[in-house]
Chain A
Amino acid sequence: MVNKTVASLQAAVADVPDGATIMIGGFGVAGQPSALIDALIAQGARNLTVINNNAGNGETGLAALLKAGRVRKMVCSFPRQADSFVFDALYRAGEVELEVVPQGNLAERIRAAGAGIGAFFTPTGHGTLLAEGKETRLIAGRPHVLEYPLAADFALIKARRGDRLGNLVYRKAARNFGPVMATAAACTVAQVDEVVDVGALDPEAVVTPGIFVHRVVVA
């Protein structure tokens, strides 16, 4: 019998190596898998590249991972927020590298990695600082930039409910990056509020099919 549920948060992130690239779901704190991030801090992996829309809020979750000095590089669209003081200080001290990506390109680059797309052309960013040095092409009279996929070793995401096959449903706008990140990592770990029986999730309403999920842990 297939069973993707794991007994503890600790076990769910035990094999994250130093230097790993990790996608972390969430838009600000909505959908942020805080329990998995805390487990990752306790686990101790260092020198991480983290892909998230933001760069931490307050002093918990992603901000705590940054504060613990575990992140070498942030790939995100919007690091600067009212409560992003942890990241701000690290960045100004030169202790963390930053790649800023327009948010739609961030989502689409992750999607491309999950869907086996080698690269894609988009008008977003053309002629700006964020497209410097990138290939361009005129398509239907409009200039486009060539953007490459973003893949990860691990995706840590948060969902409302899951089953032992890895099927997931989300809650409200906490869905955000979870479904697309689930497709783009070699190992996707989902923190869920609740594990339900196989068959309890409506097949019409499963948002992330189990094929994309490797571990499910209740938190």
Chain B
Amino acid sequence: MKRLTREQLATRVARDIPEGAYVNLGIGMPTLVANYLPRDREIFLHSENGILGMGPAPAPGEEDPDLINAGKQPVTLLPGGSFFHHADSFAMMRGGHLDICVLGAFEVSASGDLANWHTGAADAIPAVGGAMDLAIGAKQVFVMMEHLTRTGESKIVERCRYPLTAVACVDRIYTDLAVIDVTPVGLRVREMVDGLSFAELQRVTRAALVPPPQDMCA
């Protein structure tokens, strides 16, 4: 079994973003997706700090401190892009205008609850930013994360232990092991990495999974 690298995972997420989509990529791993968007598709990246039509990182030396993304990294603006103030930017998010947001996560529950802002640890400093607005506002919420923590624990759980970002908001989970839809009948596995069986995936996942269609009769 071969786990996807971060770049392969970003490529896999990017493949599901259609022509014409308005998309917000969360900070951290989701930002990588921007580098792998299919070149033949016109996709509009939104950044919470007031940018629509965000482009790739500038060439070295071309950075502009007034043109940065949500992660405070320098970016560019594509032709046809626009700038707007913060409340308008969050109106796009909260008003249901974004087609897709891609977020990282500490945990996702079987019913699509998302925990990605606060570990709840006594010495942790909570920082929410725009995560709650995106989670409730985007038409589709994709989570992109490693399947297991560094200590080998499942990040997909029956119930989140970490403080929630939003309830029942996640539509699809992309991990380095599988692509899983959150559906009314449960966590339905769509794809698994080569060499991984459904039984193995279930063994490392601390929530009940529904097998992919081709495995239904097995």
Binding site for B on A (CB under 8 A): 1-2, 111, 113-117, 163, 165, 167, 183, 198-199, 201, 203-204, 206, 209-212
Contacts and interface: CB of A to CB of B under 8 A. Distances in A.
B97 A212 contact: yes
A201 B82 CA distance: 9
Interface in B107-123: none
Contacts of A212: 92, 97
A211 B80 contact: no
B104 interface: no
Contacts of B77: 203
Given A165-B80, A209-B82, A210-B52, A115 B42 contact: no
Contacts of A199: 79-80
Contacts of A209: 52, 82, 84, 92
Nearest to B133: A116
A167 B84 CA distance: 12
A204 B83 CA distance: 6
A116 B94 contact: yes
B213 interface: no
A206 B82 contact: yes
A91 B29 CA distance: 59
Contacts of A183: 91, 95, 97
B59 to A, nearest CB: 19
A24 B77 CA distance: 32
Contact of B80 (A114, A115, A116, A198): A198
Contacts, number: 62
B64 interface: no
SS class of chain B's interface: helix, strand, loop or mixed?
Answer: mixed
Interface string B29-64: 000000000000010101000001100000000000
Nearest to B95: A116
A216 to B, nearest CB: 13
A204 B53 CA distance: 13
Nearest to A165: B80
Q: Which 6 A-B pairs have the closest CB atoms?
A: A199-B79, A116-B94, A115-B91, A206-B82, A198-B80, A116-B95
Contacts of A113: 95
Interface in B69-113: 77, 79-84, 87, 90-98
A2 B46 CA distance: 16
Nearest to B89: A209
Given A116-B96, A203-B82, A211 B22 contact: yes
Contact of B46 (A163, A204, A211): A211
10 contacts: A113-B95, A115-B90, A163-B80, A167-B82, A183-B95, A204-B83, A206-B82, A211-B22, A211-B46, A211-B92
B82 A116 contact: no
A173 to B, nearest CB: 20
A34 to B, nearest CB: 27
A211 B137 contact: no
Contacts of B97: 183, 211-212
B153 interface: no
A2 B52 contact: no
Contact of A2 (B20, B96, B137): B20
B7 interface: no
B94 A115 contact: yes
B19 interface: yes
